[in-house]
Chain A
Amino acid sequence: MTRRSLLVAVVVMTALVFAAGRRSAGSVAGGVNPSIAYDGDVRGPDGREQYRFTIEVERVMFRLLAVQNRYSLVRLRMQNSTSAPLALSADKDRLELVVKGGAPVPAVLNLQRGDSAWWDSLDPGMRETLAYPVTLRGVPAPAGGEPQRSPESLYFYAFFPSSAARELPAGFAYTIASLGRTIRIEHRAAAAAN
């Protein structure tokens, strides 16, 4: 009897451990998160994260709102965990919105050239905010026992032609020329399933 109880306990414990390992998330009650999170990262040869890219798309607002009736706006967060700054270039980099069964939609990263009439009408402060960044600073390497610093981060806004970007994105493809590679920024659930 004692042995049997012990066996049952071990089986139950093992099942619980496996269940916890899966990290399934599910709220019993509460509101539905209206945003979809997309994630992508670049890892070094040692497997450590170097850069992280995060986009959150609000389902309703993405479908309904368009800047100047021309652009769907997406905010991207970039993090740099390396000690070197990451050079960015509006003319050489490329951010594409990937839709299921359709052609990717490139973002207009250089509005100064891409839509100069509207760009010129913005006030200087707004242009500063919306201009594609030129660099993402690095984190100085800790010296002499200093604690590791958290990654440097910045936000930028990407403008997708709303006529082409009507559907919720399946993901994003971000090419950074200075890195020489394309980063896939995907929906977290879809990325986990892959």
Chain B
Amino acid sequence: MLSNFWSALAKYLEKQPYWPAVQPFFLVAFAAVAFEVAAYQYVRARYGATTIPLFLGSYLSVRILVAAAALLLLMLLFRFNPQRQLPPVPGRVVAFFRAHRTAIVYRGLATLLVLVATGLVFLATSPGRARPITIRIMDLPADVASDALTYLVYELNRPQRQWYFEIDARPFNELALTSVERDACAKDEQPLLCHTERTADAQGPLIAITSRPLNGVYFATHRGLASVITTADAASYAPLTNYEYLAYLIVIQSMLIQLDAHGGRPADAFEPRTMASGGAFEFVPGRDMLKATMLAPRLSPEQEALIFNRFGPSYLRVCSDLLSLDWLYTARTKQNLKLFGVTLSR
């Protein structure tokens, strides 16, 4: 039925007097739509469920549209010739250039401008590359073994190809700071976060894990390239174990760090509110609500679009998978954790 419609439309257009003039534009527009469909199908097949609105707002769709628009613009500009045509002299390049100098300069400049503008759009919409993030242990609660936690971190790395968590085996040592950094952190409202931040300045993005309570923060605090996760309030998410809790928060904090590193952290991320809907970057107004958020984690459509455009569909898929914690509850992971003497809550 659709092909019949296209045949009828083509026959109708071919009879129109303006068809020869608009046919190239029509073909480019048609090719752009075909590219959009193909790209959407590819992303969906390669990286899992991607909605049409998410794809249409993505850098991939924008790039296809901009490339098509640039081509259409060039075709339009090339139709216009500012110089009267003079008969060229065969075999005389110089004479040909002189005769068409204005047209050549005009078209050359127009092409250059369109290419530069298109290139700028491509550059501006280029997704960033996620960076490796180091995990350092300040101190662990008695029920968390460092080797079991290391295993979980390696499991987090398994589905990834571009970036990894790295575990720094050295215990976190505040004495390694300079005296200036130590004094500055002593005045900070979150000294542990300040220490982590200073260490991150030297060795790159860093997540520190501690069992000590943070100053007025129940679960985790973040600034720039540094995050600190505390297990001090384990009673709030019990009977979920510290392993489940740490796996979830490591993923959340890593996403925040990556977004912050590329200037794309959602403006309302963890903004204190009295209501919550279970979003990944939402403030948890009551500490007992974290358990519910962990059991039904989700990224809002806006957050999905943000992550897609910052780091590409591959990163979005990996983050969504890791955030769900489904990988943690597979028979394989649970069986492996038993080798470390660890049993999860479910």
* B178 in contact with A110 (CB, 8 Å): no
CA distance A124 to B198 in the complex (A): 10
Asked whether A128 and B178 contact (CB < 8 A) given A133-B171, A143-B341, the answer is no
* A119 in contact with B341 (CB, 8 Å): no
Is A14's beta carbon under 8 Å from chain B? no
Is A140's beta carbon under 8 Å from chain B? yes
Asked whether A128 and B176 contact (CB < 8 A) given A133-B171, A134-B171, the answer is yes
Is B158's beta carbon under 8 Å from chain A? no
B 298-346 contacts with A by CB, 8 A: 341
CA distance A79 to B179 in the complex (A): 30
CA distance A116 to B180 in the complex (A): 9
Within 8 Å CB of B146, what residues of A? 137
Is B170's beta carbon under 8 Å from chain A? yes
Could you tell me the distance in whole angstroms from the C-beta of B177 to the nearest C-beta in chain A? 7
* B179 in contact with A119 (CB, 8 Å): yes
Most-contacted residue by chain A among B147, B171, B203 (CB, 10 A): B171
* B180 in contact with A120 (CB, 8 Å): yes
Could you tell me the distance in whole angstroms from the C-beta of A33 to the nearest C-beta in chain B? 31
Encode A25-53 as 1/0 by CB contact (under 8 A) with B. 00000000000000000000000000000
Which one, A116, A120, A134, A143, contacts B173 given CB within 8 A? A134
Within 8 Å CB of B203, what residues of A? 124
Is B2's beta carbon under 8 Å from chain A? no
* A133 in contact with B173 (CB, 8 Å): yes
A 90-136 contacts with B by CB, 8 A: 90, 110, 112-113, 116, 119-120, 124-125, 127-128, 131-135
Which one, B175, B178, B202, contacts A134 given CB within 8 A? B175
Which one, B147, B172, B178, contacts A120 given CB within 8 A? B178
Could you tell me the distance in whole angstroms from the C-beta of A93 to the nearest C-beta in chain B? 12
Is B34's beta carbon under 8 Å from chain A? no
Could you tell me the distance in whole angstroms from the C-beta of A138 to the nearest C-beta in chain B? 11
Within 8 Å CB of A143, what residues of B? 341
Is B212's beta carbon under 8 Å from chain A? no
Closest to B179 in A: A116
A 52-83 contacts with B by CB, 8 A: none
Within 8 Å CB of B176, what residues of A? 124, 127-128, 131
Closest to A87 in B: B139
* A112 in contact with B177 (CB, 8 Å): yes
**Which residue numbers of B lie inside 8 Å of A, CB to CB?**
139, 145-147, 170-180, 182, 199, 202-203, 341
**Which residue numbers of A lie inside 8 Å of B, CB to CB?**
90, 110, 112-113, 116, 119-120, 124-125, 127-128, 131-135, 137, 140, 143
Mind listing 18 A-B residue pairs with CB under 8 Å? A112-B177, A119-B178, A120-B178, A120-B179, A120-B180, A125-B202, A127-B176, A127-B177, A127-B178, A128-B173, A131-B176, A132-B173, A132-B175, A133-B171, A134-B171, A134-B173, A134-B174, A137-B146
Q: Top 9 A-B pairs ranked by shortest CB distance?
A: A124-B202, A116-B179, A131-B175, A120-B178, A131-B176, A127-B176, A128-B176, A131-B173, A134-B173
Q: A124-B176, A134-B173 are in contact. List 19 more A-B contacts (CB 8 A).
A: A90-B175, A112-B177, A112-B178, A112-B179, A112-B182, A113-B179, A116-B178, A119-B178, A120-B180, A128-B170, A128-B176, A131-B176, A132-B173, A133-B173, A134-B171, A134-B174, A135-B139, A137-B146, A140-B145
